Amino acid sequence: GAGCCGNSNVHSSRRIKPMDSRYGTGKEFMKKELEQEMGKSKIKANRKQWMKLMGAGEGLSDTERVVQAYLKREGEFRKLAGKGIPNEYRWDVWMALMDVKDIFSKQKYDSLLEEVEDIDEETDPIMRQIIVDVNRSFTWHPYFDKNVNEEGLNKLKRCLKAYSAYNSQIGYTQGMNYVMGFLLMISGGREVETFWLFVALTEGQSETFTPGIEKLYTEGFPLYFEFEQAFEGMFKENVPELQAHFDELDFKGPIW
């Protein structure tokens, strides 16, 4: 069942090493999106602000500098995060904002994998669905292309299996594979951290993201309908002419 576990040190002293360039990296994945959204000049100015916030941090890794900045200057840290995060700091900032260090445990993750190790992937409905969905996740991305390398697929499969044991009330729901897979890409394949960040997202571990997205996956998907209602309100407010046109066509939000 769901629950927290003993802490272990989530952060290593090494610098983030993204995925092999043959597969594409989380940094590359986000680069074009950021440049389109902010423009190169704004990205450069934003990076300078982050470097100033984090300080020199002599003898510290980027990971440790991010955590140090978060603990000492949380208000400024959160404000700057809202303006955009440089690719090289993105994963560590997400980890800090979601307070993953408070729940992270490599030992617990390994024990969850042991729980599901002997479950038959062909006969168990949850395991069978995980395998089906993993094999059709991000098929356009080389990191999840089994013809190139199965590392990404295997890590995604383990993360989803572990979560099905961690939260046995939900088990696994379609759609989790895309959230978990995206996190794996951005993290550079940091499997255990990806798992615990997903847990933090679902449970609302941090005040940054409360109450979490777990109800996207519970029976009836109640959070989905809350999101849908909120979107329809914003859509009507911002593009009323288009909303009126859709109403004339009886073209409802869930359809598109």
pLDDT at 3: 40
Output the six-digit token pair for 210: 């409360």
Mean confidence (pLDDT) of the chain: 82
- For residues 5 and 106, the model is more confident at 106
Q: DSSP label at 124?
A: S
- Which residues in the chain are classed under CATH 1.10.8.270? 106-210
Ordered DSSP codes for 208-237: GG-S-SGGGTSTT-HHHHHHHHHHHHHHHH
Please tell us whether the domain made up of 106-210 is placed in CATH 3.40.50.11540: no
Smallest Cα–Cα separation from 204: which of 119, 97, 121, 123? Answer: 97
pLDDT at 23: 42
Q: How far is CA 131 from CA 117, 120, 122, 161, 191, in A?
A: 14, 11, 9, 9, 17
Separation of alpha carbons 130 and 111, rounded Å? 19
Separation of alpha carbons 51 and 85, rounded Å? 11
Q: What percent of the chain has pLDDT over 90?
A: 39
Mean pLDDT calculated for residue range 12-27: 43
Q: What is the pLDDT of residues 106-139, one digit of tens each?
A: 999 999 999 999 999 999 999 999 999 999 999 9
pTM listed for this prediction: 0.76
Separation of alpha carbons 101 and 7, rounded Å? 7
Q: What is the pLDDT of residues 203-246, one digit of tens each?
A: 987 776 677 889 888 888 888 888 888 888 898 899 999 989 98
pLDDT at 55: 76
Separation of alpha carbons 208 and 97, rounded Å? 6
Q: Residue 163 half-sphere exposure, CB side, CA atoms within 13 Å?
A: 30
Q: What is the pLDDT of residues 156-179, one digit of tens each?
A: 999 999 999 999 999 999 999 999
